[in-house]
Amino acid sequence: GSNFHICFCSTPSILNSIKQLDKFSLSIQLIELHLPSLPELPPQYHTTKGLPPHLMPTLKEAFDMASPSFFNILKNLSPDLLIYDLIQPWAPALASSLNIPAVYFLVSSAATSAFMFHAIKKNSLGDANDDDEEFPSSSIFIHDYYMKSYFSNMVESPTTKRLLQCFERSCNIVLIKSFRELEGKYIDYLSDLIKKKVVPVGPLVQDPVEQTDHEKGATEIIHEYFLSKEEMEDIALGLELSGVNFIWVVRFPCGAKVKVDEELPESFLERTKERAMVIEGWAPQMKILGHPSIGGFVSHCGWSSVMESMRLGVPIIAMPMHVDQPLNARLVEDVGIGLEVRRNKCGRIQREEMARVIKEVVMEREGEKIKRKTREMGEKIKEKGEEEIEWVADELIHLFG
C-alpha cells in the first residue's frame, strides 16, 4: 500500500476525529471540505456522529450544496480514482466529467442492500418478506411493526434514490464493509442484482485494548441513541428486571438540555445502584466491550457496532430502532451471534421480553452456543487481518491499471 498516495476529503469536524488517531503514514493527506453555513446546521453538526436524526436531510442538503467546492478540489488534485459514499451521490458525475473513475463504498450490510434491491425488484416489501426462493435466506425480513417506518425511510425515500444513484454510478465494482464468512451469500446476491462485482473490504474494526482485570459478574452494556422518554423507561425496567449487572450509556442529541434522572423511572438509579453504572454522553465502546467481564451487548445493531461486537466475541442482544437496523438484527440472529428482542404489535419495547432475552444470552445454556459462535467469528476476523485490504488494493489498481 505504500505506493498509494491517499487524500481524505471531508468536513473539519469529521477530519478532526481522524487527526486524533495520529497513526497514519506520510502518504495520507487530509483535505477540508467546507459546507455552506445553514442556521440549523452549525459546524459541529457537519458529521453524522451525534447528529440529531431530524437533521440528517439537512446535512445531505449541505453536502449537495458543497459540490462546486468539491469539484475544484477534485480538479486540483486530479487523482487516479475517487471513492465516495452515500452522502455524495453527485461525486462520481463530477469525477466522470474529469475522466476520473469512481467507486462506491457501502458502509452498511450486504443483506440490507440486497433486501432493498430485492423489494424494489418485486415492487413491494410484502412480497420480499414472503418466503421467496430467490432471496438467500428466509430469516431476513421486516417485522410488521417496522414495516411503515422502513417503507417511508428506505424504500420510498430520497435516501433510496441516492443509494440507487451511488450503485449505478460506481465503476464496475462496489466496495462493502463486510466479509465473506459473515455475508458471502448476500454479497453474491447483491452482485447479481446490481450487475457489478461487490468487493468486501473486511470489518474495519480497530484492534482492541488488551485487558485482564476482572470486575464483578457478567456485565451487560447497553448503548442507546436518542430515545423517547417512553423507550428509556421500558429499557430501564427491562434491565432492572433482568437482574444482571450493567453499564448503560445514554446519549442525547448535541445541545439537548436533558437530565438523565428525569428521563428514567422514579428511584430507578437508587434501586439499581449496586449493579448499575449509567453514563451520559460518550463512553469508550471498544474498551468496555473488550473487558473480560462483559457478557453481552444490548445494541441497536448499527453496522459498525455489530462488527465491533463480533471482533471482540461479545454476543448481541438486538434492539433495532430504524433504517437498516431491523435487517441487521435479523442477520445477527440468523448467523447465531445474538438474539433479537421482539416488540409488541404496536412496536413498543416489552420489558419482560427484554429481560428474558438478556437472561437467555448472558446466563442460560442457549447463550453458551451464541457466545461460542461469536468468539468463533471474532477469531476469523483476527486471522484474516489485512487479507481483504490486499485484495481491495489489487482490484483498485486493476481499475486504473
Query: Are the CB atoms for 357 and 363 separated by under 8 Å?
Result: no
**Is residue 40 scored above 50 in pLDDT?**
yes
**Is residue 212 scored above 60 in pLDDT?**
no
Q: How many C-beta atoms lie closer than 10 Å to residue 91's C-beta?
A: 24
- Rounded Cα distance between 268 and 229, Å, is 14
Residue 41: C-alpha distances to residues 54, 61, 63 (Å)? 11, 10, 11
pLDDT (tens digit per residue) in 341-361: 999 999 999 999 999 999 999
**Is residue 34 scored above 60 in pLDDT?**
yes
**Is residue 371 scored above 90 in pLDDT?**
yes
- Rounded Cα distance between 22 and 388, Å, is 23
Q: What is the mean pLDDT of residues 67-74?
A: 98
Q: What is the mean pLDDT of residues 178-206?
A: 95
pLDDT (tens digit per residue) in 119-128: 887 766 555 6
Which triple of cell numbers denotes residue 141?
425480513
Query: Are the CB atoms for 247 and 220 separated by under 8 Å?
Result: yes
The helix/strand/coil state of 249 is strand
Q: What is the mean pLDDT of residues 6-28?
A: 82
Beta strand ranges found along 19-161 (DSSP E): 28-32, 82-84, 102-106
Predicted local distance difference test score (pLDDT) of residue 251: 80
pLDDT (tens digit per residue) in 296-317: 999 999 999 999 999 999 999 9
Q: What is the mean pLDDT of residues 351-373?
A: 94
Q: What is the mean pLDDT of residues 113-122?
A: 87
- Rounded Cα distance between 336 and 320, Å, is 16
> What is the 8-class DSSP label of residue 36?
P
- Rounded Cα distance between 205 and 310, Å, is 10
Of residues 48 and 53, the one with the higher pLDDT is 48
Predicted local distance difference test score (pLDDT) of residue 38: 92
- Rounded Cα distance between 200 and 192, Å, is 15
**Structural domains of the chain sorted by starting position, each given as residue range(s) with its CATH number in brackets:** 6-206+384-400 (3.40.50.2000), 219-382 (3.40.50.2000)
Mean pLDDT of the chain: 88
Of residues 153 and 52, the one with the higher pLDDT is 52
Predicted local distance difference test score (pLDDT) of residue 157: 72
**Is residue 151 scored above 80 in pLDDT?**
no
pLDDT (tens digit per residue) in 229-281: 899 999 999 999 999 999 998 887 666 777 888 889 999 999 999 999 998 88
Predicted local distance difference test score (pLDDT) of residue 26: 74
**Is residue 166 scored above 60 in pLDDT?**
yes
Predicted local distance difference test score (pLDDT) of residue 105: 98
- Rounded Cα distance between 110 and 124, Å, is 19
Predicted local distance difference test score (pLDDT) of residue 1: 46
Of residues 132 and 183, the one with the higher pLDDT is 183
Predicted local distance difference test score (pLDDT) of residue 61: 94
Predicted local distance difference test score (pLDDT) of residue 228: 84
Query: Are the CB atoms for 244 and 218 separated by under 8 Å?
Result: yes
